[in-house]
Amino acid sequence: MEYTYELGNNYKAAIDNGTLFINFGLRSIEIPLAAISGYYRYKSNNNDILIIVSGVPGAKKKKWHIHLDPVKSQSFFDDLVACTPRSANLLHMKKKQALKILGVSDRAKQTIVALPIIVTVIAAGLFFPELWHSIFDRRLAPVTIETLYQDYPLESGFLSVPVTLNEKPLVVSYRKWFSSDKSLISRDIHKRGYYPIVPKHWKQGDPIKAVLLVDGSYMLGKVAPYHGREKVISGVVRNILWEKFSWTNDMDDLSKKEKSPVVKKPIVIDYGATPSKDLLWTFGGFLLLILPLLGLHVWRLKKESKGE
């Protein structure tokens, strides 16, 4: 088959002996022109979309969505209009009416409607640990270190516990992924400190079952005046699902520093964290993901109201 029409996107077509042939590169289709019961063409971004429906009444109809280059495909489209039944031409109708007659859904509209739902599900997954803490760990529970060790392991919680902080915690430094100067990796160093939480009769070599995580230079500065002194600290236990990935790799270094093994799944308390802060973080992340899509959805609805 010699394809005489360029449709754009490397698609080619031919009209021969009462049949429309279209080659999409990896596959080809054949549509008898007399069987075409309806077609409609509309603009979509930089391309046009041609919808063709064929089939006899009472039988299952076939539907094709074909992307056309607005310029390259014009001669093909003119010949298609001339060769098909006049009743199949729905170009005089508005898009919404034509698609309804053809029995075709607006894919762009379906995508825009579905995206907020999909993003909501993704956001709920990404922020599931924070959402969990904000719902189930709202009440602050005063505990002792001995109680922590007795209750080990502990997945989550909002705790306050009196601890004596080491004068030299394990401090891990790393670069942020994003920077205010728009470079991929920030020049600023982010610091994170780890303090072992151990009971009074603990001795070097005994397992460490609880760890205080102090995230950021500012927070490290806040606890520095209490080194070597007892302080009641509060925070959220970060052991749900992927929360542990943020600190797991640092536990070997803490074990070497303290010359004592850190258990496989220690109770890690994030100093200064609260369920309400987690809720704000979840809400902010959700808005950051959903607002652009809501704006796109509103824009699409405005276009629909204008009959575009």
Retrieve residue 164's tokens.
Answer: 């004596």
Which pLDDT does position 193 carry in this prediction? 94
Which pLDDT does position 12 carry in this prediction? 93
The span from the CA of 40 to the CA of 23, in Å, is 20
The alpha-carbon radius of gyration of the chain (Å, integer) is 32
The span from the CA of 263 to the CA of 72, in Å, is 67
Same fold for the pair 5-104 and 137-273: no
The span from the CA of 43 to the CA of 78, in Å, is 16
The span from the CA of 14 to the CA of 306, in Å, is 36
Which pLDDT does position 307 carry in this prediction? 43
Please state which CATH class domain 5-104 belongs to: mainly beta
User: pLDDT for 100-119, tens place per residue?
Assistant: 888 876 555 555 566 677 77
The span from the CA of 164 to the CA of 228, in Å, is 6
The span from the CA of 198 to the CA of 208, in Å, is 7
Which pLDDT does position 180 carry in this prediction? 47
Which pLDDT does position 259 carry in this prediction? 94
In the chain, which residue ranges form alpha helices assigned H by DSSP?
A: 74-83, 95-102, 107-126, 128-136, 145-151, 217-223, 251-258, 275-305
Pair 197, 163: CB distance under 8 Å: yes
Which pLDDT does position 26 carry in this prediction? 83
Q: Could you tell me which residues come within 8 angstroms of residue 82 by beta carbon, excluding any fewer than 6 positions away?
A: none
Q: What is the pLDDT along the chain (308 residues), one digit of tens a residue?
A: 688 899 988 899 999 999 999 998 888 999 999 999 999 999 877 789 899 999 876 667 898 889 899 999 999 999 999 999 899 999 999 988 988 888 876 555 555 566 677 777 887 788 899 999 999 999 999 999 999 999 899 999 999 999 999 888 999 987 655 544 444 454 557 889 999 999 999 999 999 999 999 998 899 999 999 998 999 999 999 999 889 888 999 999 999 999 999 999 999 999 999 999 999 988 888 888 777 777 776 666 555 444 44
| Strand 158-164 with 141-142, pairing | parallel
Buried b (16+ CB within 10 A) or exposed e, 242-254: ebbeebeebbeeb
Q: Got the DSSP string for 235-268?
A: EEE--SGGGGGGTGGGHHHHHHHHTSPEEEEEEE
Burial class (CB in 10 A: 0-12, 13-18, 19+), 10: exposed
DSSP conformational letter for 168: S
Number of helical (H) and strand (E) elements in the chain, helices listed first: 8, 14
Pair 263, 206: CB distance under 8 Å: no
Domain ranges, ordered by start, for the chain = 5-104, 108-122+276-308, 137-273
Spatial CA neighbour of 3 closest among 82, 49, 72, 63? 72
Distances (CA, A) of 98 to 42, 77, 91, 300, 307: 10, 17, 8, 18, 12
CATH of the domain spanning 137-273: 2.40.50
Retrieve residue 43's tokens.
Answer: 């603009």
Distances (CA, A) of 102 to 30, 94, 112, 254: 19, 12, 21, 67
Which pLDDT does position 142 carry in this prediction? 96
Instruction: Note the pTM of the prediction, 2 decimals.
Output: 0.61
